Chains A and B, each alone.
Chain A
Amino acid sequence: MELLRFATAGSVDDGKSTLIGRLLYDTKSILEDQLAAVERTSRARGDEYVNLALLLDGLKAEREQGITIDVAYRYFSTVKRKFIIADTPGHLQYTRNMVTGASTADLALILVDARKGVLEQTRRHAFIASLLRVPHLVLCINKMDLVGFDQAVFDNIREEFRQFSMKLDVQDLSFIPISALGGDNVVSRSDKMPWYEGPTLLHHLENVHIASDRNLIHVRFPVQSVIRPMSAKYHDYRAYAGQVLGGVLRPGDEVMVMPSGFTTRIRDIDLAGKSLTEAFPPMSVNVSLAEELDISRGDMLCRPGNPPTSGQDIDAMVCWLSETTTLQPGARLAIKHTTRMARAKINQLHYRLDVNTLHRDGDSTQLKLNEIGRVTLRTTVPLFFDEYQRNRYTGSFILIDEATNATVGAGMINGPAA
């Protein structure tokens, strides 16, 4: 059984919570005591029907204010796959949360109200999904029951979105007409939309091909730590612990160590005493090498002919996450990239990107909370990176405020700075 992570975006008005509630309910992932709690709350609030959306409100402040303020994670599974939903609130001020949820998602699910069509919010969510390189995008046109299950409404929205998405870098795009309230085309096929020949949402989630989304070509193995047992029994054991972020590693393969540039061969790959014939993303393994080299945390193993870029001057898109500070040229911050910590100085803010219009504002002097811009920065030590579009895990970094230790920025690398 495979694992699929997907992020949902949309507001309560789009029926997002109802859709998630429907997915969980129809796959029998909501259990009796949870449903009883929701029924109690629904009754106390005087709701007309059991409000499945209440299942998703976690915190006291959210229930009091009737809003969602944070990313919530939900779990369900079918016989085919286990699903992790990163449920992100849809309002403008929560771009930060959608970026967070999308960063690990295999698929982004965006909801559109069939009566309202493609809104500014829809474009913003689609843009963020494409910026974060979520490999699969699904536009669920919801509330089809309120437009008489009319094919023309669906076709118009699909066409409008298709036009817009040509400006984005979307790799795989699907459109599904649904009614979350009635369950049409969510888990079971609707008999009210015979004109729709595609899969139901759940069928799509169960079958969309995700295995090839990982980078299996460029070997990237950042070293997390060195494992040396210091015991008589394992006197000679010395291995590098880490998670494979790209490519396939096999014993006997020639590897190059960054930053030293030394090359050697993989002697063994193991985990907990069990030797493995190969390792690929996202496996966590121990790699031991034929020769003793000076390798420590933050170094990276790659193939000699195919190394990542090593550099200190980096061109990147940054989403600012801090409520209390802004990103300005000259700022000094801590940076975490793979297993490497360094300091970074923001040299230039090229432009701020309007996430609604995609307009580039070259006159901006700072990035505020939820704003996205293109920067160049310089790091104290070289980072071993790829373009984000080539590898989401060697192409991303976070920025940390050294005074408060808060995570204040999320970065996606375009490449070395010119």
Chain B
Amino acid sequence: MLVCCPVSYELSHLEALEAESIFIIREVAAELDRPVLLFSGGKDSAVMLHLAVKAFAPAPLPFPLMHVDTGHNFPEVLQYRDTRVAELGARLIVASVQEAIDGGRVAEEKGPRASRNRAQTVPLLEAIEKHQFNAVFGGARRDEEKARAKERVFSFRDEFGQWDPKNQRPELWSLYNARHRRGEHLRVFPLSNWTELDIWQYIDQEKVALPSIYYSHRREVFRRDGMLMAWSPFLQMLPGEEVITAEVRFRTVGDMTCTACVESSATTVEQVVNEIRASRVTERGASRADDKFSETAMEDRKREGYF
């Protein structure tokens, strides 16, 4: 007997996530006149940018990109950033941590564990104020970290850029409240409901280009706190630490001083997806020194105005 299947009108989880993210990005562009998209060249911001381009195509991206530059960049990531910007004909604003340090507005951390991660908040807030941005797209995901699990998609910031976790606007249905006063702004997180695995599956599905360091390569590294740190002139070695060469890839990409890599032979997206499926450690646990200070390191940074 021939049984014909009914039309199901089902969406895959990636299609549903994409539809939600595009809706969010379009809401921002429709309701706020000065948005900007944070683009670090990392995989999450690469996916967010891909979604933003899809949201308005064939029209060009209706807002600029911003990179908060710690000065401690992976050269491969900077190159990727500039290539993407050129391909899209987008406008890129660079908010420089080095300039903020040179101008005496940020104190540089000292010592072998010094990082410019926390220092990014000052130039970020300065650039928001200078350009009068009232919506800042960030690629943060709720699965990344427990303070982020409680953040809204449209996350309100007061005139000091601060996040008040106990006083967040309720967010119902898909009705986002973008209202704010002059000087205040919204951080908007279109990838809130995506997980690391979703991001990689989407990169695979959509053939999103990424910086080469996300795939296996040989690199000079050293072991610290159970993580593999990339050797670079920006990072002082501690006694007993020694440089070795290993096959590695990065699971997250941030400041060179606080981003670790993992041993991996995955050279394709498919191999990376398989590794993540089998992984027993979160991406922040595996590769972020900045979250290891305390249980509430992320919440503390976010309150100050961090991404």
Indicate with 1 or 0, residue by residue over B9-51, a CB within 8 angstroms of chain A CB atoms: 1111101111110110011011000000000000000000000
B286→A282 contact, CB < 8 A: no
Residue A119 lies at the interface, judged by CB distance under 8 Å to chain B: no
A216→B13 contact, CB < 8 A: no
Closest to B284 in A: A33
Residue A284 lies at the interface, judged by CB distance under 8 Å to chain B: yes
Indicate with 1 or 0, residue by residue over B137-163, a CB within 8 angstroms of chain A CB atoms: 000001100110110000000000000
Chain B residue numbers with a CB within 8 Å of A290 are none
Indicate with 1 or 0, residue by residue over A136-177, a CB within 8 angstroms of chain B CB atoms: 000000000000000000000000000000000000000000
B59→A2 contact, CB < 8 A: no
Chain A residue numbers with a CB within 8 Å of B149 are 58, 72-74
B295→A37 contact, CB < 8 A: yes
The CA-CA distance from A276 to B222 in the complex, in Å, is 51
A282→B16 contact, CB < 8 A: yes
A75→B142 contact, CB < 8 A: yes
How far, in Å, is A63 (CB) from chain B's closest CB? Answer: 7
A405→B22 contact, CB < 8 A: no
B175→A396 contact, CB < 8 A: yes
Q: Which parts of A42-93 form the interface with B (CB within 8 Å)?
A: 57-61, 63, 69-75, 77, 81-82, 84
Residue A418 lies at the interface, judged by CB distance under 8 Å to chain B: no
Chain A residue numbers with a CB within 8 Å of B197 are 77
B177→A405 contact, CB < 8 A: yes
A407→B170 contact, CB < 8 A: yes
Given A72-B150, A73-B142, A248-B9, A228-B59 contact (CB < 8 Å): yes
B208-216, B235-243, B274-282: which one contacts chain A? B274-282
Which residue of A34, A224, A393 contacts B173 across the interface (Cβ within 8 Å)?
A393
Which residue of B16, B58, B150, B174 contacts A70 across the interface (Cβ within 8 Å)?
B150
The CA-CA distance from A60 to B11 in the complex, in Å, is 37
Chain A residue numbers with a CB within 8 Å of B20 are 282, 284
Chain A residue numbers with a CB within 8 Å of B55 are 241, 284
Chain A residue numbers with a CB within 8 Å of B296 are 59-60
A31→B279 contact, CB < 8 A: yes
Given A37-B295, A282-B19, A393-B174, A59-B280 contact (CB < 8 Å): no
Closest to B50 in A: A272
The CA-CA distance from A72 to B22 in the complex, in Å, is 23
Given A58-B147, A227-B56, A407-B177, A284-B22 contact (CB < 8 Å): yes
Chain B residue numbers with a CB within 8 Å of A292 are none
A273→B58 contact, CB < 8 A: yes
Given A73-B149, A234-B58, A283-B175 contact (CB < 8 Å): no
Chain B residue numbers with a CB within 8 Å of A37 are 295
Residue A263 lies at the interface, judged by CB distance under 8 Å to chain B: no
Indicate with 1 or 0, residue by residue over A397-408, a CB within 8 angstroms of chain B CB atoms: 110100001110
A82→B9 contact, CB < 8 A: no
Q: Which parts of B195-213 form the interface with A (CB within 8 Å)?
A: 195, 197-198
B18→A284 contact, CB < 8 A: yes
Chain B residue numbers with a CB within 8 Å of A316 are none
Chain A residue numbers with a CB within 8 Å of B286 are 33
Closest to A76 in B: B195
Given A282-B20, A398-B175, A273-B57 contact (CB < 8 Å): yes
How far, in Å, is A220 (CB) from chain B's closest CB? Answer: 13
The CA-CA distance from A51 to B296 in the complex, in Å, is 18
The CA-CA distance from A282 to B24 in the complex, in Å, is 13
Q: Contact size class for A?
A: 35 or more
Q: Which parts of A1-31 form the interface with B (CB within 8 Å)?
A: 1-3, 31
Given A224-B26, A272-B53, A282-B281 contact (CB < 8 Å): no
How far, in Å, is B195 (CB) from chain A's closest CB? Answer: 5
Chain B residue numbers with a CB within 8 Å of A75 are 142-143, 193, 195
Given A1-B13, A243-B19, A396-B175, A321-B170 contact (CB < 8 Å): yes
Chain B residue numbers with a CB within 8 Å of A228 are 59
Given A81-B13, A410-B170, A58-B280 contact (CB < 8 Å): no
Chain B residue numbers with a CB within 8 Å of A242 are 26
A227→B59 contact, CB < 8 A: yes
Which residue of B30, B168, B179, B192 contacts A297 across the interface (Cβ within 8 Å)?
B30
Chain A residue numbers with a CB within 8 Å of B71 are none
Chain B residue numbers with a CB within 8 Å of A74 are 143, 149
How far, in Å, is A33 (CB) from chain B's closest CB? Answer: 3
How far, in Å, is B130 (CB) from chain A's closest CB? Answer: 23
Residue A326 lies at the interface, judged by CB distance under 8 Å to chain B: no
The CA-CA distance from A233 to B59 in the complex, in Å, is 10
Closest to B177 in A: A407
Residue A339 lies at the interface, judged by CB distance under 8 Å to chain B: yes
Residue B60 lies at the interface, judged by CB distance under 8 Å to chain A: yes
Chain A residue numbers with a CB within 8 Å of B22 are 243, 271, 284
The CA-CA distance from A339 to B146 in the complex, in Å, is 31
Which residue of B27, B57, B172 contacts A103 across the interface (Cβ within 8 Å)?
B172
The CA-CA distance from A277 to B12 in the complex, in Å, is 17
Chain B residue numbers with a CB within 8 Å of A339 are 27, 30
Residue A310 lies at the interface, judged by CB distance under 8 Å to chain B: no
Closest to B56 in A: A227
Closest to A271 in B: B54
A405→B13 contact, CB < 8 A: no
Residue A96 lies at the interface, judged by CB distance under 8 Å to chain B: yes
Closest to A223 in B: B30
How far, in Å, is A351 (CB) from chain B's closest CB? Answer: 22
B172→A405 contact, CB < 8 A: no
Closest to A406 in B: B169
7 residue pairs A–B, Cβ–Cβ below 8 Å: A2-B12, A2-B16, A33-B285, A34-B285, A58-B146, A280-B9, A393-B173
**Chain A contacts to B: CB under 8 angstroms:** 1-3, 31-34, 37, 41, 57-61, 63, 69-75, 77, 81-82, 84, 96-97, 99-100, 103-104, 211, 214, 216, 224-225, 227-231, 233-234, 237, 241-243, 248, 271-273, 280, 282-284, 297, 321, 334, 336-337, 339, 392-393, 396-398, 400, 405-407, 410
List 4 additional contacts besides A58-B299, A393-B173; criterion CB under 8 Å: A3-B11, A69-B166, A242-B26, A282-B20
Of all A-B residue pairs in the complex, the 9 with the closest CB atoms, nearest first, are A33-B285, A405-B179, A272-B54, A284-B22, A82-B13, A58-B146, A229-B59, A103-B172, A3-B13
